[in-house]
Protein backbone atom coordinates (compact mmCIF):
# COMPACT_ATOMS: atom_id res chain seq x y z
CA UNK A 1 0.00 0.00 0.00
CA UNK A 2 1.41 3.38 -0.92
CA UNK A 3 2.20 6.03 1.66
CA UNK A 4 -0.50 8.54 0.49
CA UNK A 5 -3.19 5.83 0.76
CA UNK A 6 -2.02 4.89 4.29
CA UNK A 7 -2.13 8.56 5.32
CA UNK A 8 -5.67 8.89 3.94
CA UNK A 9 -6.79 5.72 5.76
CA UNK A 10 -5.31 6.96 9.05
CA UNK A 11 -6.90 10.41 8.58
CA UNK A 12 -10.26 8.82 7.73
CA UNK A 13 -10.09 6.52 10.79
CA UNK A 14 -9.22 9.41 13.12
CA UNK A 15 -12.05 11.48 11.66
CA UNK A 16 -14.55 8.64 12.11
CA UNK A 17 -13.50 8.05 15.73
CA UNK A 18 -13.70 11.78 16.48
CA UNK A 19 -17.20 12.05 15.01
CA UNK A 20 -18.43 9.09 17.10
CA UNK A 21 -16.91 10.63 20.26
CA UNK A 22 -18.54 13.99 19.47
CA UNK A 23 -21.94 12.38 18.84
CA UNK A 24 -21.82 10.66 22.25
CA UNK A 25 -21.25 14.01 23.99
CA UNK A 26 -23.75 16.23 22.21
CA UNK A 27 -24.28 19.61 23.90
CA UNK A 28 -27.17 20.08 26.28
CA UNK A 29 -29.33 23.20 25.85
CA UNK A 30 -30.98 23.77 29.23
CA UNK A 31 -32.84 26.98 28.34
CA UNK A 32 -36.61 26.51 28.19
CA UNK A 33 -36.34 22.88 29.30
CA UNK A 34 -38.17 20.79 31.88
CA UNK A 35 -36.75 17.73 33.60
CA UNK A 36 -38.69 15.19 35.68
CA UNK A 37 -36.64 13.35 38.29
CA UNK A 38 -37.58 10.76 40.91
CA UNK A 39 -35.57 9.76 43.91
CA UNK A 40 -35.34 9.52 47.69
CA UNK A 41 -35.56 12.33 50.20
CA UNK A 42 -34.34 12.13 53.77
CA UNK A 43 -35.05 14.54 56.57
CA UNK A 44 -33.34 14.16 59.92
CA UNK A 45 -33.93 16.14 63.10
CA UNK A 46 -31.50 15.94 66.01
CA UNK A 47 -32.94 13.79 68.86
CA UNK A 48 -36.26 13.43 67.03
CA UNK A 49 -35.54 10.87 64.32
CA UNK A 50 -35.69 10.83 60.57
CA UNK A 51 -38.13 10.56 57.71
CA UNK A 52 -37.20 8.83 54.45
CA UNK A 53 -39.44 8.61 51.40
CA UNK A 54 -39.91 9.03 47.68
CA UNK A 55 -39.86 12.51 46.17
CA UNK A 56 -40.30 13.75 42.63
CA UNK A 57 -38.48 16.92 41.64
CA UNK A 58 -39.39 18.69 38.42
CA UNK A 59 -36.82 21.25 37.30
CA UNK A 60 -37.88 24.11 35.02
CA UNK A 61 -35.20 26.26 33.37
CA UNK A 62 -36.24 29.71 32.04
CA UNK A 63 -37.23 31.10 29.31
CA UNK A 64 -40.56 29.39 29.76
CA UNK A 65 -44.22 30.31 29.69
CA UNK A 66 -45.31 27.81 32.34
CA UNK A 67 -44.13 28.50 34.86
CA UNK A 68 -43.44 32.10 33.84
CA UNK A 69 -39.65 32.25 34.15
CA UNK A 70 -37.11 34.73 32.84
CA UNK A 71 -34.10 33.31 30.98
CA UNK A 72 -31.89 33.18 34.10
CA UNK A 73 -34.55 31.75 36.45
CA UNK A 74 -35.05 28.16 37.60
CA UNK A 75 -37.83 26.50 39.56
CA UNK A 76 -37.77 23.13 41.30
CA UNK A 77 -41.15 21.64 42.19
CA UNK A 78 -40.90 19.14 45.03
CA UNK A 79 -43.77 16.62 45.05
CA UNK A 80 -44.05 13.87 47.65
CA UNK A 81 -47.48 12.72 46.47
CA UNK A 82 -49.29 14.83 49.07
CA UNK A 83 -47.75 18.28 48.70
CA UNK A 84 -46.36 20.06 45.66
CA UNK A 85 -43.94 22.82 46.68
CA UNK A 86 -41.91 25.27 44.61
CA UNK A 87 -38.34 26.39 45.24
CA UNK A 88 -37.17 29.19 42.98
CA UNK A 89 -33.85 30.77 42.12
CA UNK A 90 -31.51 31.63 39.29
CA UNK A 91 -29.19 29.57 37.11
CA UNK A 92 -26.14 30.06 34.97
CA UNK A 93 -23.53 27.95 33.22
CA UNK A 94 -19.75 28.26 33.36
CA UNK A 95 -19.60 26.74 29.90
CA UNK A 96 -22.72 26.49 27.72
CA UNK A 97 -23.75 23.05 26.56
CA UNK A 98 -21.91 21.13 29.30
CA UNK A 99 -25.10 20.27 31.21
CA UNK A 100 -23.70 21.44 34.54
CA UNK A 101 -25.79 24.44 35.60
CA UNK A 102 -24.98 26.47 38.68
CA UNK A 103 -28.17 26.95 40.70
CA UNK A 104 -28.61 29.75 43.23
CA UNK A 105 -31.84 28.94 45.02
CA UNK A 106 -33.84 31.47 47.06
CA UNK A 107 -33.20 30.78 50.73
CA UNK A 108 -36.75 31.81 51.69
CA UNK A 109 -38.49 29.57 49.13
CA UNK A 110 -36.22 26.67 50.16
CA UNK A 111 -37.01 27.17 53.85
CA UNK A 112 -40.77 27.43 53.15
CA UNK A 113 -40.80 24.22 51.08
CA UNK A 114 -38.74 22.18 53.53
CA UNK A 115 -40.77 23.46 56.49
CA UNK A 116 -44.00 22.35 54.78
CA UNK A 117 -42.54 18.87 54.28
CA UNK A 118 -41.54 18.71 57.97
CA UNK A 119 -44.99 19.90 59.09
CA UNK A 120 -46.55 16.88 57.37
CA UNK A 121 -44.70 14.70 59.88
CA UNK A 122 -44.70 16.78 63.09
CA UNK A 123 -47.66 19.13 62.77
CA UNK A 124 -47.87 22.94 62.54
CA UNK A 125 -44.82 25.05 63.30
CA UNK A 126 -44.25 28.83 63.32
CA UNK A 127 -43.57 30.30 59.84
CA UNK A 128 -39.93 31.03 60.71
CA UNK A 129 -39.30 27.70 62.48
CA UNK A 130 -36.67 26.53 59.98
CA UNK A 131 -33.50 28.43 59.16
CA UNK A 132 -31.28 26.90 56.48
CA UNK A 133 -27.59 27.52 57.20
CA UNK A 134 -26.10 25.60 54.30
CA UNK A 135 -27.45 24.45 50.94
CA UNK A 136 -25.60 22.63 48.19
CA UNK A 137 -27.05 21.41 44.89
CA UNK A 138 -25.39 19.44 42.11
CA UNK A 139 -27.12 19.00 38.76
CA UNK A 140 -25.75 17.17 35.77
CA UNK A 141 -27.50 16.68 32.45
CA UNK A 142 -26.22 14.28 29.82
CA UNK A 143 -27.04 13.49 26.23
CA UNK A 144 -26.05 9.92 25.59
CA UNK A 145 -27.09 8.18 22.40
CA UNK A 146 -29.93 10.65 21.86
CA UNK A 147 -31.42 10.31 25.37
CA UNK A 148 -31.15 13.34 27.62
CA UNK A 149 -30.98 12.50 31.32
CA UNK A 150 -30.41 14.50 34.50
CA UNK A 151 -29.14 13.61 37.94
CA UNK A 152 -29.74 15.96 40.82
CA UNK A 153 -28.51 15.87 44.39
CA UNK A 154 -29.00 18.44 47.07
CA UNK A 155 -28.39 18.80 50.78
CA UNK A 156 -29.57 21.40 53.24
CA UNK A 157 -28.55 21.83 56.86
CA UNK A 158 -30.19 24.13 59.32
CA UNK A 159 -31.90 24.69 62.63
CA UNK A 160 -35.51 23.82 63.46
CA UNK A 161 -37.09 25.71 66.36
CA UNK A 162 -40.49 25.84 68.02
CA UNK A 163 -39.70 29.10 69.81
CA UNK A 164 -38.29 27.33 72.88
CA UNK A 165 -36.01 24.53 71.71
CA UNK A 166 -33.65 24.49 68.73
CA UNK A 167 -32.57 21.32 66.99
CA UNK A 168 -30.12 20.76 64.16
CA UNK A 169 -31.68 19.24 61.07
CA UNK A 170 -30.69 18.07 57.61
CA UNK A 171 -32.45 17.33 54.34
CA UNK A 172 -31.10 15.49 51.31
CA UNK A 173 -32.39 14.38 47.94
CA UNK A 174 -30.88 12.22 45.22
CA UNK A 175 -32.75 11.52 42.01
CA UNK A 176 -32.53 10.99 38.28
CA UNK A 177 -34.82 11.50 35.33
CA UNK A 178 -35.22 12.72 31.77
CA UNK A 179 -36.07 15.85 29.81
CA UNK A 180 -39.82 16.09 29.28
CA UNK A 181 -40.24 19.41 27.44
CA UNK A 182 -37.96 21.47 25.26
CA UNK A 183 -39.83 24.69 24.67
Encode pLDDT of 16-50 as tens digits: 444 444 445 688 999 999 999 999 999 998 887 88
3-state secondary structure of 12: helix
Encode pLDDT of 93-103 as tens digits: 989 899 999 99
How many angstroms separate the CA atoms of 26 and 95, rounded? 14
* DSSP letter assigned to residue 145: T
Q: Evaluate whether 167 touches 147 at the Cβ level (below 8 Å).
A: no
Domain ranges of the chain: 28-182
Overall pTM > 0.85 = no
3-state secondary structure of 76: strand
Query: How sure is the predictor about 144, in pLDDT bands with cuts at 50, 70 and 90?
Result: confident
Q: Evaluate whether 34 touches 60 at the Cβ level (below 8 Å).
A: yes
How many angstroms separate the CA atoms of 74 and 91, rounded? 6
Query: What CATH number labels 28-182?
Result: 2.40.160
Amino acid sequence: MSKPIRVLLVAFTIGAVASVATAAKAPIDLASSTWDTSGRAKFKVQKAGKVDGPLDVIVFFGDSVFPDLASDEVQMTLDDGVLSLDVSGTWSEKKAGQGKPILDMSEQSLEDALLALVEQEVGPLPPDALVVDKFKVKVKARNKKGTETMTIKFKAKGVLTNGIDSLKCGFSYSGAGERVVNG
